[in-house]
Amino acid sequence: MGHIVISGLNKEFVNRRKSRREDDTAPLGHVVPVLEDINIEIEDGEMVCFLGPSGCGKSTLMRIVAGFDKQSSGSVMIDSKAITGPSSDNIFVFQHSGLLPWMTVAQNVELGIRHMKDAHERCGKIQEYIEMVELEGFEDHYPHQLSGGMLRRAELARALVVNPDILIMDEPFSGLDFLTHMKLREEVVNMHQFLGKTILIVTHDIDDALVMGDRIIVFSRRPSQIKLNRKLDFPHPRNFFKKDTELAKLRDELFFMLGVNYAV
């Protein structure tokens, strides 16, 4: 289960900066509020996209939900239990690769199920998830031998193999080339429809949010408050170019030609 209730959450940082950023008027050494009175309820199985200007604290909120960071006040309850720390029930997929570079893809995927007693079953599971992200044949490759898109897939496999309730993705497509970005986006949408996990995605790509989200939440500038919290009831695959059908067709054709099947 992955039902999240965030209520009255505040987060402050102490400004330890020696010199001041240009647009920063806060006095040095003072408390800087980052998140102010955040109230969100996320249903089990919902895919929620968080948008906002950079530095607005979206990642901080994700780190709090993942248990890496503590809120200053307010509460975060997952399935009516307060967060006590990081746990394999909610897996964080890092912005830059969080794969351990000294382990092969298979060894990385194994991390989450390393306590599974039956070696045969364990290997089967590793293989199943590696195939799910289409990395078969790369089991024994080290991360530095993979491309950017493959790294994200491998990390996704590692996250999914533990069967977490919640998946938290911090700008999962940043730094990828356009087509890899599109393909991976499509795969995440498919995976979500198939597995039905609660997924939180931080992004600043509006397209991504519109295409993927069951809901989008938009943050304001710091100190961040919620500007918009809207459910997106549109069915997948979603299409922006409905108005101009000919262009839309061409766009679809191009996508299809280049390997993104539905341009979800």
Partner 1 sequence: MDSQTHPTFTHRLAPFLSFTVLVLIWEVAVRFAKLDSHVLPGPSQVFFSMIELIKDGSIFKHTVASLFRVTAGFYLAAALGIPLGIVLGRSHIASLLFSPIINFLRPISPLAWIPLAMLWFGIGDKPAVFLIFLASFFPIVVATMVAVQSINPTFFHVAANFNFSRFEVIQKIVIPAIIPAIITALRLTVTIAWIVVVAAEMIAVQSGLGYLILDARNGLRLDQVMDGMIVIGLIGILLDSIMRRLGRIDSAAWGIRQP
50 sits near partner 1 (criterion: CB under 8 A) = no
Q: Which listed range, 8-16, 75-83, 90-98, 124-132, lies at the site for partner 1 (CB under 8 A)?
A: 90-98
Which part of the chain contacts partner 1 (CB under 8 A), choosing from 15-23, 51-59, 80-88, 193-201?
Answer: 80-88
227 binds partner 1 (CB under 8 A): no
- Angle 111-169-58 from CA coordinates, rounded to 5°: 135
Helices (H) and strands (E) in the chain, counts: 7, 10
Task: Find the part of the chain contacting partner 1 (CB under 8 A) among 31-39, 87-95, 122-130, 223-231.
Answer: 87-95
Rg (CA), the chain: 20
51 binds partner 1 (CB under 8 A): no
Dihedral over alpha carbons 101, 107, 113, 118 (to 10 degrees): -160
Of 5, 111, 123, 248, the one binding partner 1 (CB under 8 A) is: 111
Give the range of 41-49, 89-97, 206-214, 251-259 binding partner 1 by CB under 8 A.
89-97
d(CA 28, CA 17): 7
Kindly state whether residue 16 participates in binding partner 1, applying the rule CB under 8 A: no
Closer to partner 1 by Cβ: residue 36 or 104: 104
Interface pick for partner 1 out of 33, 45, 55, 67 (rule CB under 8 A)? 67
Torsion over CA: 78, 213, 62, 5 (sign): negative
Which position among 87, 127, 163, 220 is part of the footprint of partner 1 (CB under 8 A)? 87
13 binds partner 1 (CB under 8 A): no
Q: Is 102 in the site for partner 1 (CB under 8 A)?
A: yes
Q: Binding of partner 1 at residue 193 (CB under 8 A)?
A: no
Q: Supply the DSSP symbol for 165.
A: S
DSSP state of 185: H
Tokens 């060894």: give the residue.
Answer: 107
Residue 228: other Cβ atoms inside 10 A: 11
Which residues in the 116-155 window bind partner 1 by CB under 8 A? 142-144
> Rounded to an integer, what distance in angstroms lies between the CA atom of residue 206 and that of residue 50?
10
Nearer to partner 1, 162 or 212 (CB): 162
Under the binding rule (CB under 8 A), the answer on residue 70 touching partner 1 is no
Q: Return d(Cα 212, Cα 186) in angstroms, integer.
A: 8
Q: What is the DSSP letter of 180?
A: H
Asked if 66 interacts with partner 1 (CB under 8 A), we say yes
For residue 72, what is the DSSP state?
S
Instruction: State phi, psi for 246 to the nearest 5 degrees.
Output: -65, -45
Return the number of the residue (68 or 234) whose C-beta is nearest partner 1. 68
245 is an interface residue for partner 1 by CB under 8 A? no
Least separation in angstroms between residue 147's CB and partner 1 is: 10
Return the exposure string of 133-163: e unless at least 16 CB atoms fall within 10 Å of the residue's CB, then b.
bebeebbeebbeebebbbbbbbbbbbbbbbe
Contacting residues toward partner 1, per CB under 8 A: 66-68, 85-88, 91-92, 94, 96, 98, 100-103, 111-112, 142-144, 162
